[in-house]
């Protein structure tokens, strides 16, 4: 007898088919960012709106593309990646906003992840902690090229992924969390980790295990000068994500035409 719990999220509530999902997928946290991606597409349609997963597909710069929100946390993103992979997705680019652990980022900096610290929790259910959470090198290169094309400031390196994130306040009941996570964040900062997220390591581990490509672009939305979180940074992250996949798709086309598995791109 099949356990009904196994089928709740299958094909995003039974709403998605293999024909709906492109090989290139943008994986933001929020549904609003999915809609922001769609504003740039030549064609777009909604595939599913199921729990925290808003799945939309369409055409961008002549390429089929999908965007799927994952909500917050490793368990949520793991469900999305599993379902998308089963439906034919091959490349995953997570696009999000972040804040610096301390002062390692300037406002508006893009963070292009080469890998992630696995303090997320969920990735440990897939494979032992010694297994790395690497970003695929082609997505790293395409993200760098996108930032260069757009003239955006960027930093490249390891990001931190913790199961619990948020401001380092001690009001209310947060002191339980703050006292435990503060030394963890300080250790990551001393090790040169660039920022903090809550979902990236899970996705990168899944992609590596499944033989797929995974990458991450975050943007620092903390405007220290004006003491605020600036949602305008989201627009730059959206545009950088789209430009990254446009470049990667072009490189993939060059590889296919040349009959190569890998190539070293020299032009846009």
Element (H, E) at 143: helix 137-150
pLDDT digits (tens, 9 = 90+) for 209-249: 999 999 999 999 887 777 777 777 889 999 999 999 999 99
- Total domains, the chain: 1
Residue 221 within any structural domain of the chain: yes
More confident call, 145 vs 97: 145
Q: Worst-scoring range by mean pLDDT, 95-99, 158-162, 220-224?
A: 220-224
pLDDT at 266 over 70: no
Is residue 32 in a domain? yes
The neighbouring-strand residues paired with 160 are 117, 196
> Beta 110-119 vs 213-220: how paired, if at all?
antiparallel
Which range, of 13-27, 118-132, 144-158, 184-198, averages the lowest pLDDT?
Answer: 184-198
Q: Domain span at residue 200?
A: 7-255
Determine, yes or no, domain membership for 215: yes
Instruction: Supply the pTM of this predicted model.
Output: 0.93
The answer to whether residue 218 is domain-embedded is yes
Q: Is residue 8's pLDDT more than 80?
A: no
Distance CA 72, CA 76 (A): 7
pLDDT value of residue 230: 76
Assess if residue 261 is contained within a domain.
no
Positive or negative: CA dihedral 144, 243, 92, 116: positive
34 touches 68 (CB < 8 A): yes
* H-run or E-run covering 228: strand 228-229
% of the chain with per-residue pLDDT over 90: 69
Q: Provide CB contacts within 8 A for 44, sequence distance 6+.
A: 38, 56, 57, 58, 59
- Tens digit of pLDDT for each residue in 42-61? 999 999 999 999 999 999 99
In a domain, 56, yes or no: yes
Return the minimum-mean-pLDDT range out of 55-69, 186-200, 222-236: 222-236
Please give the pLDDT value at position 229.
Answer: 72
For position 32, which CATH number holds? 3.40.50.1580
Paired with 156 in beta bridges are 112
What's the burial of 2, exposed, middle or buried (CB within 10 Å: 0-12/13-18/19+)?
exposed
In this structure, is residue 206 part of a structural domain?
yes
| pLDDT given for residue 1 in this prediction | 46
Residue 20 belongs to some domain of the structure: yes
């Amino acid at each position: 007898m099949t356990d009904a719990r196994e089928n709740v999220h299958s094909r995003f509530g039974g709403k998605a088919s293999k024909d709906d999902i492109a090989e290139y997928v943008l994986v933001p946290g929020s549904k609003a960012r999915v809609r922001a991606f769609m504003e740039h597409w030549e064609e777009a349609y909604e595939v599913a709106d199921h729990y925290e997963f808003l799945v939309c597909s369409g055409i961008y710069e002549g390429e089929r593309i999908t965007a799927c929100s994952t909500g917050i946390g490793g368990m949520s993103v793991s469900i999305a990646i599993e379902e998308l992979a089963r439906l034919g997705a091959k490349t995953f680019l997570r696009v999000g906003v972040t804040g610096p652990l301390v002062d390692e980022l300037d406002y508006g900096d893009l963070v292009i992840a080469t890998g992630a610290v696995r303090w997320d929790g969920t990735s440990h259910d897939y494979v032992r902690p010694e297994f790395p959470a690497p970003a695929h090198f082609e997505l790293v290169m395409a993200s760098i090229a996108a930032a260069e094309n757009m003239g955006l400031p960027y930093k490249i390196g390891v990001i931190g992924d913790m199961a619990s994130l948020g401001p380092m306040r001690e009001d209310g009941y947060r002191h339980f969390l703050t006292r435990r996570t503060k030394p963890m964040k300080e250790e990551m900062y001393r090790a040169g980790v660039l920022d903090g997220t809550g979902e990236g390591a899970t996705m990168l581990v899944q992609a590596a295990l499944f033989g797929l490509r995974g990458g991450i672009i975050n943007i620092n939305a903390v405007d220290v000068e004006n003491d605020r979180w600036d949602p305008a940074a989201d627009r730059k992250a959206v545009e950088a994500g789209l430009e990254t996949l446009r470049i990667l798709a072009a490189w993939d086309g060059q590889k296919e035409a040349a009959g190569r598995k890998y190539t070293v791109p020299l032009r846009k």
